[in-house]
Amino acid sequence: MIRSLLLATVAAAMFASASWAAAPIIPAPVSDTPREGAFQLDERTVISAPTNDAQAQASARYLADLLLRSRGLKLAVRAPKAGERAIVLSRQGPTGEAYKLDVDGQRITIASAGDAGLFYGAVSAWQLATAEPGRGPAVIWARQIDDAPRFGWRGVMLDSARHFQSVDYVKGLIDRMALAKLNTLHWHLTDDQGWRLEIKKYPKLTQVGAWRVPAGPAPAADFDPATGKPRVIGGYYTQDQVRDVVAYAAARHITIVPEIETPGHAHAPIVAYPELGSAATPPTATSSDWGVFPYLYNVDERTFAFLDDVLTEVVDLFPGTYIHVGGDEAVKDQWKTNPAVQARMKELHIGSESQLQGWFISRVEQMLEAKGRRLIGWDEILEGGVAESATVMSWRGIDGAIIAAKLGHDTILSPEPMMYLNNRQSAAPDEPPGRGAVVTLKDVYGYEPMPTALNADERHHVLGVQANIWTEHARTEERVSKMLFPRVAAVAETAWSPAAAKDWKSFADRLPAELGRYRALGLTFDETPLKVRALSEPQGGGARVALLGAEEVGEIRYTLDGSAPGAGAMLYSQPFAAPLGTRVRAQAFRGGQPLAAASDLTIDARSIRTRASQELKVCQGALVLNLEDDAPLQGDRARFLVDIMNPCWIYEGADLTGVSQIEVAVGQIPFNFQIGKDVEKIKFRPPATPEGELEVRQDSCEGAVVATLPLAPATRSQGVTVLTGKIAGAAGPRKLCFSFTQKAVEPMWVIDRVTLVHGAGHDR
Ligand code: ACM
């Protein structure tokens, strides 16, 4: 009683003092209207749903479970007694995925005639209850929300082929998608590097195709005592596991769309069953290379029989309408040189390999049609002519979607780089490995999927939007989560909320609550872009310090006296001068709430002259990757930002005043990239010593060499080696350019970090 009185007082005080804020819900609802009063949620609140309604009961229990896990509140699911405060799930509402949410002092009513709508209403109610961080009771402002999704396809693609994730991980992702009102999990189950789905009729697909030795000399030397061979990584999903995952998703109103890649990205199945391939010499081991492999299925009838068998098992496992059959990046070299393929083309009067791909995909489409399903393919399926019922997933920009919709095909927008969450989300050195483009949370949020080139009729063909996480460089499940979150929250708002309701400032205002929910539930997300880091350089006898992090989302507060930074600490606005030895403690905030843990940074003679590879510029930027070392096998590995087409870095404004030595931490990465003939474009200067050297030039990459560091000492370690040498350049802030001399791409030498050593080198 005392607690409830106290809460009433708190609520009244809040109502009197705070202004009513838009619902702290992501994705933002269609409409949100304030009402008078507030609802006090505590353990005496009950959740009720019609007892004869299994779906409504399930959503009620889902809400109860969320409240328990996030706030420690244990609410009973039962009919309320007279006078009891209650969250009531009702069927007197809109249909489908739409719902209404009414909050007054006594009741929260969640109403939808649709099962999914009721579920989403429950999720929104939970978000209202978790607007403020902390556990225990919550005050929910009275309001009326009317909500319905903008798009019917609100997707995430998970690549389980390049790196395998556990069933528990996939279920956890499904839970997180459901909380974001996403409804489609596109599951990329087969690719060159792995076949992840048990197919009973073809056991070698997983016995052989689901396992591989990771790239590089370190894993190759890591022998498994059980087999006497290098240890393999991988895994696959049994059909029982898949049925379980599909049911788990369905209970959260998520449809799984499996992808079985054809006719390319087929290296793994061709290793398992070489008779499926087109190459004169079939591959013999599942590969750990990345990129675009040359291996295509052949066009023999027995290959189509194989695909038909596989799809028979696939449709038995996945009850959804759509099956994705890939179609992307099928380089046709092997078809061009394979006599049987060429003979088949003649017989079919098919004039080009691209048309042959169109014919191939239409064969697969007929199989799916016969099984009562619809085909989806990546936008390349448009190139060889494709049947009208095919749905096109536009990834090479948005042209595929525009062409598809104008031709009368349904389409889904999933363009790189904005919807490719394998790109890193900030330039910070400790981002998880991934592709090198920086695609920030705000970039993702700003993406508008409806192509302006489409007229009103054509727009009906846009089913929705999808973000993809390709996992070449996401070796662990933790990293998959970091690449996805919080950016998936931005994707969800794009997919669900009306275009007119989208507003970055409002989203950023709602972000701390969302991050609070992740934290309350113990869910991994990438805090790195929200964490403050320093980039400092020499100035006078001290330093000029720039603070970076959370620029787009919040404000940086900092202290220089060693005290903890709070929301009331100094506001950072521009770089400042500081003596060496200064301790900067800093944290980013939005609306007074911390966005990430505080940073504790010391500015000293080394830090002002040290740059990680991610803080250097790449010289050209043709194919930039944030790559992880392949060694050591256990423990932390370095991450290098490198343009693999031109491994060359620039340190802008490097001040050699008083500097006579340079230290460069270098690593070597396996060149495991299938880039075809493009490898010939990678040029190196010839080495002067057998092992090669790092050359440092001043002012330009063609300028005078000011330091040469032989690589010989680094060849003895598979990890990172610190090379030290003399540097003799002109003083003052100037450009330094770093490149390696070597004879061939394997291994590729890379920079981890550079330090210009001031004085005699004793100041570390
Ligand atoms: C793709 O990224 N190859 C669809």
CATH of the domain at 713: 2.60.120.260
Q: Is 477 a catalytic residue?
A: no
Confidence check: pLDDT of 739 > 70? yes
- Distance separating alpha carbons of residues 182 and 205, to the nearest angstrom: 31
CA of 520 to the centre of ligand 1 (A): 35
Cα 566 to Cα 275, 505, 563, 599: the distances in Å are 65, 22, 9, 12
Q: Give a yes or no: residue 523 inside a domain.
A: no
* Residue 132, in any domain of the structure: yes
**Are both 578 and 643 inside the same structural domain?**
no
Give the residue from 647, 681, 612 showing the smallest Cα distance to 750: 647
105 and 239, same domain (yes or no): no
Q: What percent of the chain has pLDDT over 90?
A: 95
The alpha carbon of 244 and the centre of ligand 1 are apart by a number of angstroms equal to: 28
Average pLDDT over residues 341-363: 97
Reduce the DSSP state of residue 659 to 3 states and report it: strand
Active site annotation includes 32: no
Note the pLDDT tens digit of each residue in 667-681.
Answer: 999 999 999 999 999
* DSSP per-residue codes, 539-587: ETTEEEEEEESSTTT-EEEEESSSPPP-TTSEEP-S-EEE-TTEEEEEE
Residue 653: name the closest of 533, 539, 754, 736 by CA.
736
The model carries a pTM of: 0.96
Q: Are residues 143 and 158 in the same domain?
A: no
Instruction: Look at residue 20 in the predicted model and tell me its pLDDT.
Output: 59
pLDDT of residue 13: 43
Candidates 132, 329, 383, 552; catalytic one: 329
> According to the model, what pLDDT value does residue 761 have?
46
Average of per-residue pLDDT across 738-755: 97
Cβ 288 vs Cβ 193: under 8 Å: yes
Identify the band that residue 294 occupies on the pLDDT scale cut at 50, 70 and 90. very high
With cut-offs at 50, 70 and 90, classify the pLDDT of residue 23.
confident
| pLDDT at res. 384 | 85
Q: Is the pLDDT of residue 7 over 90?
A: no
- How many Å from the N-terminal Cα to the C-terminal Cα in the chain? 62
> Residue 219 sits in a domain of what CATH number?
3.20.20.80
Atom index in ligand 1 nearest the CA of residue 328 equals 3
- Last residue in a domain, options 604, 627, 645: 604
In angstroms, rounded to a whole number, what is the distance separating the alpha carbons of residues 268 and 202?
Answer: 13
State whether 717 and 735 are in the same domain: yes
Residue 25 within a domain? yes
Q: What is the pLDDT of residue 760?
A: 58
The residue behind tokens 């759509």 is: 322
- For residues 231 and 380, membership in a common domain is answered with yes
Per-residue pLDDT of 122-135, as tens digits, reads 999 999 999 999 99
* Average pLDDT value for residue range 629-639: 94
Cα(667)–Cα(644) distance, integer angstroms: 14
Same domain, 104 and 189: no
Q: How many angstroms separate the CA atoms of 291 and 434, rounded?
A: 13
User: Which one of 570, 604, 638 terminates a domain?
Assistant: 604
Q: How far is the CA of 633 from the centre of ligand 1 (A)?
A: 29
- For residues 385 and 365, what is the distance between their CA atoms, to the nearest angstrom? 12
Mutate to test the pocket of ligand 1, among 188, 190, 378 (most ligand atoms within 8 A of CB): 378
* Average pLDDT value for residue range 59-69: 98
Q: Is residue 168 part of a domain?
A: yes
DSSP 676: G
For residue 412, what are the contacts with CB-CB under 8 A and spacing of at least 6? Answer: 153, 155, 376, 391, 392, 393, 394, 401, 462, 463, 464, 465, 466
Question: Which ligand 1 atom sits nearest the alpha carbon of residue 468?
Answer: 2
| 359, pLDDT greater than 90 | yes
DSSP 168-195: HHHHHHHHHHHHTT--EEEEE-EETTEE
Q: Any idea which of 8-22, 514-528, 615-629, 687-701 has the lowest mean pLDDT?
A: 8-22
Residue 576 belongs to domain with CATH number: 2.60.40
Interstrand relation of 576-578 and 542-548 (parallel, antiparallel or unpaired): antiparallel
Q: How buried is 54 (Cβ within 10 angstroms: 0-12 exposed, 13-18 middle, 19+ buried)?
A: exposed
Q: Which of 102, 115, 147, 191 is catalytic?
A: 191
Are residues 320 and 424 located together in one domain of the fold?
yes
Judge whether residue 590 has pLDDT over 50: yes
Q: State how many domains the chain has.
A: 4
In the predicted structure, residue 358 carries a pLDDT above the cut 70:
yes
Mean pLDDT of 80-95: 97
Mean pLDDT, residues 508-525 taken together: 97
Burial (0-12, 13-18, 19+ Cβ within 10 Å), 231: middle
Closest residue CA from atom 2 of ligand 1 = 395
For the CA of 416, the nearest atom of ligand 1: 2
375-430 pLDDT, tens digit per residue, is: 999 999 999 888 779 999 999 999 999 999 999 999 999 999 999 999 999 999 99
Q: Is 521 a member of any domain?
A: no
Q: Where are the beta strands (DSSP E) in 72-208?
A: 76-77, 86-90, 99-103, 107-111, 138-147, 153-159, 184-188, 190-191, 194-195
Of 568, 587, 604, the residue at which a domain comes to its end is 604
Q: What is the pLDDT of residues 593-628, one digit of tens each?
A: 999 999 999 999 999 999 999 999 999 999 999 999
Q: What angle do CA 8, 11, 15 make, to 5 degrees?
A: 140
Assess if residue 60 is contained within a domain. Answer: yes
Q: What percent of the chain has pLDDT over 70?
A: 97
pLDDT, residue 83, reads 94
Q: Residue 106 burial by CB count (10 A; 0-12/13-18/19+): exposed, middle or buried?
A: middle
The reported pLDDT for the residue numbered 322 is: 98
pLDDT at 142 over 80: yes
Do residues 626 and 564 both lie within one domain?
A: no
Q: Are residues 590 and 641 in the same domain?
A: no
Tell me what pLDDT residue 22 has: 78
Quick count: other Cβ atoms within 10 Å of Cβ 607?
A: 18
The full DSSP string for 13-28 is HHHHHSPP-----SSP
Average pLDDT over residues 257-278: 98
Catalytic site includes residue 265? yes
- Which residues line the pocket of ligand 1, CB cutoff 6 A? 328-329, 378, 395
When the pLDDT of each residue in the chain is averaged and rounded to a whole number, the result is: 95
- Within 8 A by CB and 6+ apart from 500, the residues are none
Q: How far is the CA of 259 from the centre of ligand 1 (A)?
A: 12
Query: CA 361, CA 28: separation in Å to the nearest integer?
Result: 39
Q: Which two tokens stand for residue 353?
A: 């390999």
Q: What is the C-alpha R_g of the chain? A: 29
- Cα(349) to centroid(ligand 1), Å: 30
Which of 598, 609, 529, 596 lies closest to 559, judged by CA? Answer: 598
Query: Are residues 480 and 622 both part of a single domain?
Result: no
Same-domain check for residues 91 and 132? yes
Report the CATH number at residue 120.
Answer: 3.30.379.10
pLDDT at 183: 99
Residue 342, domain extent: 153-501
Q: How many Cβ atoms are within 10 Å of 120's Cβ, its own excluded?
A: 30
pLDDT at 388: 76
Residue 525 lies in a domain: no
Q: Is the pLDDT of residue 684 over 50?
A: yes
Q: Which pLDDT tens digit goes with each residue over 643-667?
A: 999 999 999 999 999 999 999 999 9
Q: With DSSP H G I counted as helix, E B as strand and the rest as coil, what are the percentages for the chain, rounded to 5?
A: 30, 30, 40
Whether residue 558 is found in the same domain as residue 471:
no
In a domain, 518, yes or no: no
Residue (of 626, 427, 556, 529) closest to 545 by Cα position: 556
Annotated active-site residue in 163, 186, 253, 265: 265
Region of 234 (left: φ > 0; alpha: ψ -120 to 50; beta: rest) is left
